[in-house]
């Protein structure tokens, strides 16, 4: 049976640290027995000190509410009575239990000594694909009533409901999955092994038939694969709706509250025309046009009519998911004929079931690996794809994934081949009408001469403004210290019992001979490890010499120009790299001979040995790639390549990254992509500069006559929905010090925040300015009612910071580079967008510098041909964060006065939707905002 009595506890406190004097201000407990909440207890607690304003904002609990409440010592006996003979349970149990133990000891009572369950840990195992394990997001997922997040009674109730839900989910797992999960549960941080053991015992008493949608193969339960569709040729009935009436009738029949969008219909027709006449086309579609449906509808009709697949490439996973789960599903329900759409990614995204099966036979002693194995076992009962992007893994889990991911086959008889996820995805894609992929896979397919995607002639590239950058990254090389250490560390010397040790054991067992004896090769590996450390030491010292010229900045970049790479100053690094490459070649040859000898004995190997061999082949692929990267970056770089070092001076060599990219990819894209395809459709909301596509076309290698262009403006009425304000009493940054400038904008931002009551996104171009502004505003004491969140300062990803920002009434979010696009905050959650500076790339940024030199050598103006259009596109993306729906309203503030004073400033205003522009001092701006909002 599930432990008889579980007490779910939640605490609200004045802060995070009882050691620093923080106290409990509210305690709630829910008693769970036999899958039901049977009792509850809640009380405010007088902490004997003022509640900080941030905690008041977060919890809604103020000093008045706890003024007459009992002190903790008064409620301690009741709490201990509830906990007597129970399991203590909480969401992040270490925090709540640790805090409670501290308060019990301070009140003179013995601490609680029973077992504990952590519902965060339980959620990770039970819901391995959840985006977040925060309590509010889990309660939203299951529509639990969580009326007052961050108040103990509401939080404890939701945690208890989640606990009951998780227990029910676990009980439904196949017996074999439960047995494997239970065997790994002793490595968890809380005592959940008690829970798994009791659920397993109950399951064994009433063994039921396995779910018909599941199968058990080689001791692992997994969801049965979807049937591969029969190949259908073009459908004669699929006639594209040419006129407005036909399109309106089609959409209105399936779309509640359908409103005709002229821009969307125009886009549909332009896409259809390009596909049927084998032309390339570039379409800028403003926010609200409905571009996804604008290209999907004609793509499906074309694919069915022509009997050929259409490839659809996006830059972000979010858009891929949105297309598959929303738009494509909508089309499937709307059209009177069927079509197949599949998602296909690079093989490293997919689980190798044979490797994973063998990893389960290993003795586990690492927390991250144990919980990742448990997550994968549960996930296999629900996943159709085997794609790692579905999983929410820890950083340690990601490292484990590198061992079990797919990278092709190196042994002949993989028993899992009939159930292989990657092979299934490829087979599905061969029968698909629409193949959804990402820019990286699209470019990998070019490099591999079309071996990754089924043959196609028509492709749609959404988020096309990322194509040039994706191509530079893809055709480039990257060597970073930590990744290198991880890759080469998998080999290990004999004493470390890693891959080399396993290989030598097999060599001995099967009497395979090689040129070098084990101990000789062991010495060579040790020698290589010393060489590579020496190499990074030399490169780091050269990096540090350069960095002394730039005082006060911690994260720096240093471009390795062709002249520097061939200079005497750089020769020690080149010689060191040559020694590393030589040693790598020597080891590669020896390992290759060993693998060849073992492969000849393949029929004699057991499954564990075959899996080790697979792992070694995967490792040798990474090794070979790393060696070629060293060679291409340091010894055979072309003069037009951009090579640079970057790192944080506080953590070298760990933070050291070496990158190499082509300065211009246009020519390569034209020859290997555009010239090879019948139709390429590129679309995004930000492709034009001052209504011209010229800059984008040159960047991707399409001259004016190579592609048609269409601009479809946003249907939103920006002149009524938004205003742009430029303060006149902020100094121009070039005329004052950074600290003076930061002080001026912090003063203005405080005034604006008070007028807008938060709901403000502040975008910076440099982290140093963001940090100084955030700290100054926080320390001012004028925004104590506000929650300030900043990228790189507050914990969490961009998505998590955005979600947290939306949860608070009075919130200010500070962001740099990645926040300028892809952040979607519709409605009243965002009322004010502040752009601190026009987003020009720093002149010493390596790629910008190299592109400028390249343009100069061609007799062109680098500022007007590159720096300005690049900044305008980023500015457009930034402004695009504010208005996401036709009901949104808001104000844009641009602090950078160059938008008015510089002769090029007009180009920024001409490139965004038409909106009223005002100038004035702080008090005028505040009046305008108050009146406007």
Binding residues for ATP: 285-292
CA distance 615 to 619: 6
Contacts of 795 (CB under 8 A, 6+ apart): none
Closest Cα to residue 789, out of 758, 768, 817?
Answer: 758
Q: Dihedrals φ, ψ of 919, to 5°?
A: -125, 155
| CB 42, CB 28: distance < 8 Å | yes
CA dihedral defined by 181, 185, 191, 195, rounded to 10 degrees?
20
CA distance 142 to 160: 13
Tokens of 834: 């502040």
| CB 798, CB 792: distance < 8 Å | no
CA distance 494 to 500: 7
CA distance 758 to 751: 10
Strands (DSSP E) found in 765-883: 787-790, 811-815, 832-835
If you count them, how many residues does the chain have?
A: 933
Strands 832-835, 811-815: pairing kind: unpaired
Tokens of 56: 């008041």
Residues that constitute the known binding site: 285-292
| CB 510, CB 598: distance < 8 Å | yes
| CB 425, CB 342: distance < 8 Å | yes
Tokens of 145: 């009533």
> Collapsing DSSP states into helix, strand and coil, what is residue 62?
coil
- The 3-class secondary structure across 530-558, one letter per residue, is HHHHHHHHHHHHHHHHHHCCCCCCCEEEE
| CB 674, CB 498: distance < 8 Å | no
Q: Dihedrals φ, ψ of 287, to 5°?
A: -55, 135
CA dihedral defined by 427, 428, 434, 439, rounded to 10 degrees?
-60
**Count of other CB atoms within 10 angstroms of residue 922:** 18
**Count of other CB atoms within 10 angstroms of residue 203:** 19
∠ CA(310), CA(313), CA(315), 5° rounding? 170
**Count of other CB atoms within 10 angstroms of residue 204:** 11
> Collapsing DSSP states into helix, strand and coil, what is residue 786?
coil
Closest Cα to residue 494, out of 524, 457, 449?
Answer: 524
CA distance 3 to 5: 6
**Count of other CB atoms within 10 angstroms of residue 910:** 12
**Count of other CB atoms within 10 angstroms of residue 384:** 15
| DSSP code, position 853 | H
> Collapsing DSSP states into helix, strand and coil, what is residue 844?
coil
At CB < 8 A and 24+ separation, what contacts does 509-512 make? 510/598, 510/601, 510/604, 510/605, 512/594, 512/597, 512/598, 512/600, 512/601
CA distance 299 to 309: 9
| CB 195, CB 224: distance < 8 Å | no
∠ CA(53), CA(55), CA(60), 5° rounding? 95
The dihedral built from the CA positions of residue 76, 82, 85 and 90, taken in this order, carries a sign that is negative
Tokens 């005709």 — which residue? 260
End-to-end alpha-carbon separation of the chain, Å? 58
């Amino acid at each position: 049976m599930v432990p008889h009595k579980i007490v779910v506890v939640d605490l609200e406190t004045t802060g995070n640290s009882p050691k620093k004097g923080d106290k409990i201000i509210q305690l709630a407990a829910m008693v769970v027995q036999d899958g039901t909440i049977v009792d509850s207890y809640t009380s405010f607690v007088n902490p004997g000190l003022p509640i900080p304003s941030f905690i008041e904002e977060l919890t809604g609990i103020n000093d008045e509410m706890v003024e007459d409440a009992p002190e903790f010592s008064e409620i301690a006996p009741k709490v201990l009575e509830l906990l007597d003979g129970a399991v203590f349970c909480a969401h992040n149990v270490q925090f709540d239990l640790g805090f409670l133990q501290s308060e019990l000891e301070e009140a003179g009572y013995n601490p609680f000594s029973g077992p504990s369950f952590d519902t965060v840990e339980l959620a990770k195992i039970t819901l391995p694909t959840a985006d977040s394990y925060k309590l509010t997001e889990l309660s939203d997922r299951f529509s639990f009533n969580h009326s007052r997040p961050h108040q103990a009674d509401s939080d404890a109730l939701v945690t208890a409901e989640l606990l009951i839900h998780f227990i029910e989910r676990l009980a439904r797992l196949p017996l074999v999955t439960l047995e494997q999960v239970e065997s790994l549960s002793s490595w968890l941080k809380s005592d959940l092994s008690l829970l798994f053991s009791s659920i397993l015992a109950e399951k064994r008493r009433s063994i039921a038939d396995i779910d018909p949608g599941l199968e058990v193969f080689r001791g692992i339960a997994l969801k049965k694969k979807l049937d591969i569709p029969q190949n259908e040729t073009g459908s004669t009935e699929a006639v594209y709706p040419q006129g407005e009436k036909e399109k309106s009738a089609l959409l209105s029949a399936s779309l509640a509250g359908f409103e005709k969008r002229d821009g969307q219909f125009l886009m549909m027709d332009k896409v259809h025309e390009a596909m049927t006449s084998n032309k390339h086309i570039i379409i800028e579609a403003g926010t609200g046009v409905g571009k996804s449906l604008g290209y999907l509808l004609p793509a499906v009709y074309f694919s069915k009519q022509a009997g050929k697949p259409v490839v659809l490439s996006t830059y972000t996973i979010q858009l891929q998911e949105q297309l598959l789960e929303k738009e494509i599903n909508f089309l499937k329900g709307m059209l009177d004929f069927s079509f197949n759409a599949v998602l296909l990614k690079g093989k490293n995204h997919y689980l190798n079931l044979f490797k994973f099966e063998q990893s389960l036979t290993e003795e586990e002693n690492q927390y991250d690996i144990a919980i990742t194995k448990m997550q994968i076992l549960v996930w296999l009962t629900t996943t159709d794809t085997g794609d790692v992007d579905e999983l929410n893994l820890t950083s340690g889990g990601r490292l484990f994934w590198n061992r079990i991911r797919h990278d092709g086959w190196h042994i002949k008889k993989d028993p899992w081949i009939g159930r292989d996820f990657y092979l299934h995805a490829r087979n599905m894609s061969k029968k698909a009408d629409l193949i959804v992929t990402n820019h990286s896979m699209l470019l990998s397919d070019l490099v591999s001469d079309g071996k990754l995607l089924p043959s196609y002639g028509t492709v749609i590239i959404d988020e096309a403004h990322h194509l040039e950058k994706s191509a530079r990254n893809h055709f480039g090389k990257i060597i970073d210290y930590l990744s290198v250490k991880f890759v080469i560390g998998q080999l290990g010397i004999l004493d470390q019992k890693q891959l080399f040790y396993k290989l030598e054991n097999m060599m001995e067992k099967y009497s395979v001979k090689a040129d070098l004896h084990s101990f000789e090769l062991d010495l060579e590996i040790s020698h290589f490890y010393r060489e590579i450390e020496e190499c990074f030491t030399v490169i780091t010292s050269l990096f540090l010499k350069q960095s002394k010229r730039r005082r006060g900045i911690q994260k720096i970049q240093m471009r390795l120009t062709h002249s520097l790479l061939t200079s005497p100053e750089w020769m020690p690094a080149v010689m060191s790299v040559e020694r590393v490459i030589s040693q790598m070649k020597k080891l590669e040859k020896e390992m290759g001979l060993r693998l060849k000898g073992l492969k000849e004995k393949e029929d004699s190997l057991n499954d564990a040995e075959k899996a080790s061999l697979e792992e070694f082949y995967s490792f040798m692929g990474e090794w070979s790639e790393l060696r070629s990267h060293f060679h291409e970056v340091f010894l055979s770089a072309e003069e037009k390549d951009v090579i640079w070092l970057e790192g944080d001076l506080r953590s070298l060599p760990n933070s050291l990254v070496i990158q190499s990219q082509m300065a211009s990819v246009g020519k390569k894209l034209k020859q290997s992509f555009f010239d090879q395809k019948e139709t390429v459709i590129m679309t995004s909301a930000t492709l034009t500069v001052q209504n011209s596509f010229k800059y984008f076309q040159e960047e991707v290698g399409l001259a004016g006559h190579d592609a048609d262009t269409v601009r479809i403006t946003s249907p939103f009425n920006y002149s009524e929905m938004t205003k742009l304000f430029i303060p006149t009493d902020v100094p121009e940054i070039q005329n004052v010090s950074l600290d003076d400038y930061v002080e001026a904008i912090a003063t203005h931002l405080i005034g604006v925040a008070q007028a807008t009551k938060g709901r403000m996104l502040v975008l910076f171009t440099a982290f140093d300015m963001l940090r100084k502004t955030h700290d100054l505003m926080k320390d001012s004491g004028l925004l104590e009612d506000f929650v300030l969140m900043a990228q790189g300062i507050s914990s969490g990803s961009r998505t998590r910071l955005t979600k947290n920002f939306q949860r608070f009434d009075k919130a200010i979010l500070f962001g740099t580079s990645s926040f300028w696009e892809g952040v979607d905050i519709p409605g009243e959650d965002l009322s004010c967008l502040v752009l601190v500076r026009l987003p020009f790339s720093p002149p010493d940024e390596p790629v910008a510098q190299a592109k400028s030199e390249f343009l100069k050598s061609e007799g062109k103006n680098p500022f007007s041909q590159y720096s300005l259009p690049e900044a305008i596109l980023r500015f457009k993306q930034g402004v695009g964060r504010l208005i996401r729906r036709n009901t949104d309203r808001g104000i844009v503030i641009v602090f950078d006065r160059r938008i008015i004073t510089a002769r090029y400033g007009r180009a920024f205003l001409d490139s965004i939707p038409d909106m009223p522009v005002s100038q004035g001092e702080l008090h005028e701006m505040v009046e305008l905002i108050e009146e406007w909002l």
